[in-house]
Structure 1
Amino acid sequence: MRAVASLAVFLVLAAVAGAGWFLSLPPRIGHPAPAAISDEERRATLAAMRPKRERPMIAVIGINDATEVTDYLMPYGILKRAGVANVVALATGPGPVRLYPALAVEPDMTTAAFDTAHPAGADYVVVPAMSRDDDPAAIAWIRAQAAKGAFIVGVCAGAKVVASAGLLEGGRGTTHWYYRRAVERIEPTLAWVPDRRFVVDARVATTTGITASAPMMLTLVEAIAGREKAAEVAARLGVSIWDARHGSAAFTLSRPFATTALANRFAVWRHETLVLPVSDGVDEVSLALVADAWSRSWRTRVVTVAPGRVTTRGGLRLHPDVAEASGEALPAAGNEPPLRLLDATLAAISARLGPETAAFVADQLEYPADM
């Protein structure tokens, strides 16, 4: 929740500064269809990401106290679905990984245990957004993996962590629209690449906001196992296009975004807690998207409920918030393709909280859907 809180503090301080600040913000613009990516660029991206062995090892790292929920669970869930690599979820220390803005999971192992089991290192390392961009244990481990030859993927604001590790120096990249300046402060030599949902530069990839994990991971699946396999996984996710096309101009700190943020934050009498039932076999991607989207309305808090620990579809152990709870229950994440479930969730947010809040959530997720 720290990233959400920092945005809230910024908006409050800016509001106090005066109405002039609000008037200086641009209106929200639509989402015109972005230009397709050339075959040449797509082939170059895939070539840069090709594995060095037939079945690579992929590690998703998190820090225990706060790692972004979709950044951590979506790559893991997509890659587990694909079945083309050995995939492990890691934490820098023992115990569960507390995810924000909701959920907690037990990782497969610690980074120390991984190093013992796999001294040659991972082939790919996925770096989510974390509450601390310069966590010493995470930074040291990411640097060590890069030195061993791992391909590093910084998803969303995970680019700040990758930058703090010194891996974006003199390179090209991107990040979540809200954190562009923060990444540039950490690594001023980084060349910003607009209108790309992800950027591959040598042995490092970075992505735009939260939902960009889907096209990034599908591109990784394609690099490992070919386009036919990637298309099969994409269909099960509800994704039709997974290249790097993106319309960066549609995502910015607009006047409607700021107005909705402040209105929802301060309307405490309208805040509510929603119950999300979970059970064994729950899909990590669907669960993350539903919990993330509702939690980012700034009016609703999501509480997961189950009588005991739950094992997800990919094998992670989920720590439910409570064993039982009263309150309005959200529909359990079922077998619907996860990205179509996100569309349905945004529609439900629009119906319950209003279209401006749904657009506010979509902007935070950097999800290219016009509300």
Structure 2
Amino acid sequence: MFSSISGRLAALSIAVFFLAGYGVAASFAATGNDGADAAKHKQAFIEAMAPQGTQRQVIAIVALNQGTEMTDLLVPHAVLKRADIADIQMVAPRRGPVTLYPALQVQATQDFAGFDQLHPQGADYVIVPAMEPDNDPAVMAWLQRQAQWGARIIAVCSGARVAGQAGLLDGRRFAGHWYDRSTLQERHPGAVHVPDRRYLADRGVATTTGITASVPTMLALVAALGGPDKAARLAEELGVEYWGPAHDSDAFGVNFSRGFEYALNKAAFWRDRESAIDVSDGMDDIALALAADAWSRTGHVRVVAASPSGPVTLRSGLILDARPGDHDMPRLPLAKNIKPVRQLDAALSEIAARYGDARRDWVMQEMEYSGAIR
């Protein structure tokens, strides 16, 4: 994703092709291509991700210390922790800080060496978020070993680029964020992009569309591990109406209609202003990630986590770095008493009120999100 560490510079060269139109379907609600075909693809994914053996499964969520996409990491970790159907561990090349983009920072308590010592036969599943760079040698070597040992790989959003760099897309069908399609096809000419599928699996390697696909994909994984009733209850708890694979790929792409304004927005470093989200122990990771991600992509806001006591422990158990917020630092609102996933719709509504519909729309485009949840 071009929201990475170097993304603003990259955006200058691609912004003139930015899309103006958006789909009208609800974000995780059934789209026009939903129905028996989508149900078949959903069941195929669940069967492809079914556990091998009866032991409690081990799921590793890999992170790169110097740059990992925030929602791609925090949402899968939080959804799977809530489900409590496997042992979930975030693992990075080194213990210590993991810088997230476009905002925030968490602490990794497990490194590759420590994980391998605890799990000499490898993980059962490895979830791969977007990373910058997408070809870190330590990540490549570890991911290749896990795949060779039989782990199923689930590459979320631009995590498909990471999986591809590790040699795991060659000859396979894939989804991927809309912005990555041409890059993935150029890098892996034997791979086949499948449109209109929010997630799919091919011979032990799963891929998803853009950032917000992490929610339905993890619910499908929960169905594979814990059964459809478990997934349905969790979806209700999170505020998700539909978590099937139906997706309107035509709603996302490139043209000239908003390119100039988008380029100015991405180039305007001087317009960014630090704004805080107040955080505390037990805060919901999913709501925080979706809101912070959306606000960070407006081109107006650099999101920081504020807590008078410093680092906090999120609901999932991850340690989030935080600092005391200045008294006069603007605060970003988090809606109260709503389900976690619906926090994204609340943030988008506030973004439109502050900066206009066009600004909200390109945030939705970057997050590959097609509309408010019904």
Superposition TM-score, scaled by structure 1 size: 0.92
Query: Which shows bigger deviation, 296-305 or 211-220?
Result: 296-305
In structure 2, what residue type is equivalent to 1:285?
A: I
- CA offset digits 1:204-242 (Å, max 9, x no partner): 100000000001000000001111100111111111111
Q: Quick one: distance in 2 between partners of 1:96 and 1:335?
A: 31
Structure number with higher relative contact order (C-alpha < 8 Å, ≥ 6 residues apart): 2
Give the total of aligned pairs: 363
Q: How does 1:119-198 map to 2 (within 5 A)?
A: 119-198=120-199
> For 1:31, which of 15, 21, 24 is the aligned residue?
24
The match for 1:319 is 321
Query: Which shows bigger deviation, 146-155 or 177-186?
Result: 177-186
Say which SS state the counterpart of residue 303 (structure 1) adopts. Answer: strand
Q: In the alignment, is residue 99 of structure 1 matched against residue 92 of structure 2? A: no
Pair 333,83 (structure 1): closer, same or farther in 2 beyond 3 Å: farther
In structure 2, what residue type is equivalent to 1:112?
A: A
| Contact 1:71-1:210 at 8 Å conserved across structures | yes
In structure 1, what residue type is equivalent to 2:350?
A: A
Q: In the alignment, is residue 233 of structure 1 matched against residue 234 of structure 2? A: yes
In structure 2, what residue type is equivalent to 1:288?
A: A
Q: CA deviation at 1:34?
A: 2.9
Q: Quick one: distance in 1 between partners of 2:20 and 2:282?
A: 42
In structure 2, what residue type is equivalent to 1:73?
A: L
Q: CA deviation at 1:27?
A: 4.2
- CA offset digits 1:85-141 (Å, max 9, x no partner): 110111111211110010111123111100001111111100000001111110111
**What value does the CA root-mean-square deviation take over the aligned residues?**
2.1
Say which SS state the counterpart of residue 59 (structure 1) adopts. Answer: strand
The match for 2:28 is none
Identity %: 42
Q: In the alignment, is residue 282 of structure 1 matched against residue 283 of structure 2? A: yes
Unaligned stretches of 5+ residues in structure 2:
26-30
Unaligned stretches of 5+ residues in structure 1:
16-21
The match for 1:19 is none
Superposition TM-score, scaled by structure 2 size: 0.91
Q: CA deviation at 1:300?
A: 1.2
Q: CA deviation at 1:44?
A: 1.9
Pair 293,78 (structure 1): closer, same or farther in 2 beyond 3 Å: same
Q: Quick one: distance in 2 between partners of 1:221 and 1:303?
A: 31
- CA offset digits 1:131-185 (Å, max 9, x no partner): 0111111011111111111000000000001001111110100111011122223
Q: CA deviation at 1:260?
A: 3.7
In structure 2, what residue type is equivalent to 1:344?
A: A
Q: How does 1:239-254 map to 2 (within 5 A)?
A: 239-254=240-255
Q: Quick one: distance in 1 between partners of 2:85 and 2:275?
A: 36
Pair 332,247 (structure 1): closer, same or farther in 2 beyond 3 Å: closer
> For 1:342, which of 344, 349, 353 is the aligned residue?
344
- CA offset digits 1:189-217 (Å, max 9, x no partner): 11010000111111010000000000100
Q: Quick one: distance in 2 between partners of 1:62 and 1:14?
A: 27
Say which SS state the counterpart of residue 96 (structure 2) adopts. Answer: coil
Pair 335,91 (structure 1): closer, same or farther in 2 beyond 3 Å: farther
The match for 2:218 is 217
Q: CA deviation at 1:269?
A: 6.1
Q: Quick one: distance in 2 between partners of 1:257 and 1:215?
A: 29
Pair 52,369 (structure 1): closer, same or farther in 2 beyond 3 Å: same
In structure 1, what residue type is equivalent to 2:228?
A: R
| Contact 1:30-1:370 at 8 Å conserved across structures | no
Pair 28,94 (structure 1): closer, same or farther in 2 beyond 3 Å: same
Say which SS state the counterpart of residue 341 (structure 1) adopts. Answer: helix
Q: How does 1:286-305 map to 2 (within 5 A)?
A: 286-305=287-306
| Contact 1:101-1:296 at 8 Å conserved across structures | yes
Say which SS state the counterpart of residue 73 (structure 2) adopts. Answer: helix
- CA offset digits 1:249-276 (Å, max 9, x no partner): 1011243552442232355664322111
